[in-house]
Amino acid sequence: MTSPPIMPVILWTDALVFLLVAVIVVFAWHVRRRGHLLASWRKVVHSRSGMAAAVVLATFIAIGLMDSLHFRPRLAEDAGGLKVSYSVEMLSLFDVVATHLRTRPEKTYSAPLATHLFARETVEMADGRQARHFPRLMYGGAHLANPEAEWKWDVTKRALAGVAGAILLWGALVLMATFWLSKRGHRGVAEYWRLIWKGGSVVPWREILVTTGVLLLVLVPILLLSAKYHVLGTDKVGQDVFYQALKSIRTGLVIGTLTTMVMLPFALLLGIMAGYLRGWVDDVIQYVYTTLNSIPGILLIAASVLMLQVLMDKHAELFETVQQRADAKLLVLCLILGVTSWTGLCRLLRGESLKLREMEYIQAAQAFGVSGFRIITRHMLPNVMHIVLIAVVMDFSGLVLAEAVLSYVGVGVDPTMISFGTMINSARLEMAREPMVWWSLTAAFVFMLMLVLSANLFADAVRDAFDPRIGARPAAPAIISKHLPAAKNS
Amino acid sequence: MINYLIRRVLYAIPILVGVNVITFALFFFVNTPDDMARMQLGQKRVTEESVRKWKEERGYDRPLFVNLSREGVGKITDTIFFTKSVKMFAFDFGRAEADGRDIGHEIRSRMWASLAIALPVFLVGMLTYITLALLMAFFRASYVDFAGVVLCVIAMSVSGLFYIIGGQFLISKLWNLVPISGYGEGLNTWKFLVLPVVIGIIAGVGASARWYRTIFLEEINRDYVRTARAKGLSEVRVLFKHVLHNAMIPILTGAVVAIPLLFLGSLITESFFAIPGLGSYTIDAINNQDFSVVRAMVFLGSVLYIIGLILTDVSYTIADPRVRLQ
């Protein structure tokens, strides 16, 4: 009997991430069958900036999900094959895809696309004299025999090939999308083509396709170049910065989503109970959240994280590998952030529930003798869901930003875990170097900006669609009615 | 109003007790006073005797919450929690565990550095954000407004850390205009203050200006604005006189709470710019696990927050005469 080549490992955050995915799928299925919810989501889908942001966000989420499938590869078996041991190091599906980024460490700093190290080193020459020069990189541009002469041409060639590939890929994608859409919309391909590029389709396909095109134009050349170079350079220990930036995405996504997920039950239950039951329940809940709120947030987080640190040091045997330990810390950080940030949502929900309990349909339910629990779950909960949804999407970007700050103060994620915060933290000192090492910081900046910006834009689209106060705007651009009287299906 | 204020102040007491319970529980959940003593005395060669002495000197030789060896009220009063908390309510914070300095004195002397940064950031910031938001509201639904909103969303998507790092790099390192960090005495102080203040304002521009714009736009569709325009008032006058005045309540809700907390400074700004304020004091205390200082800062923060809430309510009565506190 042969043992499997890998041993799957499900980290705590992995399990929760996939639980979240399952919840979203169930929710989507639920929405499909309910007209009023579907109408609001249609508004999100019709938002131009929202859908462009969704394309970028989907790319990030895909990378994050790939990075959430962990396993431990099998080590080489000993002679009899009796004892199978698995590596202590845990890999994710993403690590396998990015093997060439992960397994080619240089000695130390090297600039983006460089062929030589960033710092001079003293090397002994063949005749015994010592000379100081920039040594060649072990992997970056190692295929070039004469880097000074060939480097420029090689980089240009690869970049151009990437651009050409991106254009081809994108063209194929656009054609496929147009054919598929025109078939679904029962109209001619040419007609639909014009419709898309005039911005007349109900779903903003033009914006979606253009965003995809820009993404491909940036990503494909980078991927081609990364086969032979370190596109974003390497850091102090020679680790590829591009790889680090990609790995940071998962940490950011986990913090942004799981935090709200762990705080939601508290906020929902307590908020609705306070608003619906009133009386002493309301007093107690208000007391709890005012107390929690009045402690400066960062101090509460710092104290909790320090406490956790001591606890983990005392029970080091609980964690098999370093990564499991780091993961547990990430999860608890989410919990702590959740505990400190549920108060705002709780207060909103309390206010809304106070309003709802005076509504006729709630009073009718009470008159019919429906139990309090049933009124809360059946009648209150669905009617505060829009507040919850808006809060969840609006909180996401703030949490991603908070992670960076917390890691800087030293109460964030585990130092061994790659995140935007740890990247910035270690790159901070490099700014003082002469000449300056700028690429780590720039990479963290660009990736973080893209993630947070697309999350913000998407959140705005969701808020615009679900906030009842913003109802006056037309759902779809007026141009539709001009071009297409009956554009309902697309 | 006096009755209302008295009630609010009395209501603050259970909240502050709760805050103290939480801080104590967090600290002593895993750390025993013995651990704390060992940590502060240094790991090496700590005898039972020295630990006992350390605890006795600082009053940690009692049980935490309940003292079973005492009778009656003593069960509660002769505990670490009670003795430490009662002093806190008299704003007697005791001495820091690490260096034995008087915390109250330290807070009083460091407060001004924090305030020197936080107050200008707050005041100039509010003015800037409100002006920008009014401008966007004035040019609403035009390209100026659109560009403003886009810039705001981009600005709020950048981590505050990058504003500080970028600002330090550009202004101090590249252009050599002001010192990169530090704090001076007397008239030279302004040189050190300019950069953190400017960065503090810029870092908040995106979120705040957009938020105020939303508030103004909500007001701008009201009937009284239409009436004001119908009277023939100029748009500028409508905005500054009528809309701004009526938008004061939502603006005050967010802003007034923050005023008392300005004393505490900003943790990040102060540590980046090496400013000897309360923010860097707190960060150091967190890193040294100095329980006395952290406890004092948490308590102070809560007191200031509650003062901020009360001030907010009072400010409503000034902004809107219809509001009465009862």
Nearest Cβ partner for A311 among B23, B30, B160: B30
pLDDT per position as a tens digit, B193-216: 888 899 999 998 998 999 999 889
User: Which of B156, B159, B283 comes nearest A456 by C-beta?
Assistant: B156
Provide the token pair at B116: 């020197």
CB–CB contact B19 A291 (8 Å): yes
* Closest-approach residue (CA) in chain A for B266: A298
Residues B150-184 as b/e (b if ≥16 CB within 10 A, e otherwise) read ebbbebbbbbbbbbbbbbbbebbeeeeebbbbebe
Cα–Cα dist A201/A483, whole Å:
9
Q: Is A307 touching B (CB cutoff 8 A)?
A: yes
Distance, CA of A51 to CA of B291 (rounded, Å): 49
Q: Which residues of chain B have a CB within 8 Å of the CB of A311?
A: 30
Which helix (H) or strand (E) covers residue A71, if one does?
A: strand A70-73
The minimal CB distance from A431 to the residues B153, B157, B169 is found for B169
Q: CA A382, CA B268: separation in Å to the nearest integer?
A: 40
φ, ψ of residue A460 to 5 degrees: the values are: -60, -40
CA closest to B289 among chain A residues: A306
- CA distance to partner chain A, nearest, from residue B13 (Å): 10
The reported pLDDT for the residue numbered A76 is 66
Which of A485-489, B84-88, B254-258 has the least mean pLDDT? A485-489
A387, A467 Cβ separation under 8 angstroms: no
Interface probe with A: pick from B19, B20, B43, B157, most Cβ of A within 10 Å? B157
Q: Does A470 touch chain B (CB under 8 A)?
A: no
DSSP B231: T
Angle in degrees, CA B267, A454, A233, rounded to 5: 75
Q: Measured between alpha carbons, how far is A450 from A442 in angstroms, rounded to an integer?
A: 12
Q: Cβ(B108)–Cβ(B278) under 8 Å?
A: no
CB contact under 8 A, A401 and B160: yes
* Residue range B216-240: mean pLDDT, rounded: 89
A284 touches chain B (CB under 8 A): no
Instruction: Provide, as residue numbers in chain A, all residues whose Cβ is less than 8 Å from the Cβ of B260.
Output: none
Name every residue whose Cβ is closer than 8 Å to that of residue A254 and which is 6 or more positions away in sequence.
A13, A17, A64, A330, A334
Please say if the pLDDT value at position B139 is more than 70.
Answer: yes
Question: Cβ of A294 and B19 within 8 Å?
Answer: yes
Q: B residues 90-149 near A, CB within 8 Å?
A: none
CA A116 – CA A109 distance, rounded (Å): 10
Q: Chain B contact for A306, CB < 8 A?
A: yes
From the list A374, A375, A381, A395, the residue with the least C-alpha distance to A352 is A381
Residues in chain A with pLDDT values less than 70: 1-3, 76-84, 469-490
Q: H helices within B92-247, ranges in order?
A: 103-138, 143-156, 160-167, 189-220, 223-230, 235-237, 244-246
Which two three-digit tokens encode residue B176?
């050599």
Chain centroid to CA A481: 37
DSSP A430: G
- Chain B contact present for A314, CB below 8 A: yes
Smallest CA–CA separation between A287 and chain B, in Å?
A: 7
Which among A98, A432, A460 has a CA at the least distance from the CA of A245?
A: A98
For the cut 90, the answer to whether the pLDDT of residue B168 exceeds it is no
- Decide: helix, strand or coil at residue B100: coil
Interface with A, mutate which of B286, B288, B292, B310 (most A CBs under 10 A) = B286
Q: How confident is the model at residue B125 (pLDDT cuts 50, 70, 90)?
A: very high
What letter does residue B169 receive in the DSSP assignment?
I
Residue A85, min C-alpha distance to chain B (Å)? 36
Q: Give the nearest partner residue to B22 out of A295, A306, A457, using CB atoms.
A: A295
Q: Kindly report the number of other CB atoms within 10 A of residue A226's CB atom.
A: 20
- Structure letter (DSSP) for residue A133: E
The span from the CA of A454 to the CA of A59, in Å, is 11
Partners of A300 on chain B (C-beta within 8 Å) are 22, 26, 298
Question: What ipTM does this complex have?
Answer: 0.85
Calculate how close chain B gets to A291, using CA atoms only, in Å: 5
- In angstroms, rounded to a whole number, what is the distance separating the alpha carbons of residues B192 and B194? 6
Cα of B157 to nearest chain A Cα, Å: 5
Contact A173/B at CB under 8 A: no
C-alpha distance from A155 to closest chain B C-alpha (Å): 29
Residue among A282, A281, A259, A198 at smallest CA distance from A401 = A259
Q: Which residues of chain B are within 8 Å of residue A336 when distances are taken between CB atoms?
A: none
Q: What is the tens place of the pLDDT at every residue in B29-75?
A: 767 777 777 777 766 667 777 777 777 777 777 777 777 777 766 66
The answer to whether A251 and A417 are in contact (CB under 8 A) is: yes
Residue of B nearest to A292 (CA): B19
**Number of neighbouring beta carbons within 10 Å of residue B101:** 11
**Per-residue pLDDT reduced to its tens digit, B278-303:** 888 888 887 777 778 888 888 888 99
What pLDDT does A486 receive?
A: 34
Is the Cβ pair A294, B15 closer than 8 Å?
yes
Collect all residues of chain A within an 8 Å Cβ-Cβ radius of residue B218: 469
CA dihedral A347, A353, A354, A358 (to 10 degrees): 170
A283 three-class SS: helix
Q: Is the pLDDT assigned to residue B238 strictly greater than 80?
A: yes
Cα angle B65-B71-B72, degrees, rounded to a multiple of 5: 80
In A12-72, where does DSSP find H-type helix? 12-32, 35-46, 48-66
Token digits of residue A379: 């009648």
Q: Which residue of B has its CA nearest to A459?
A: B153
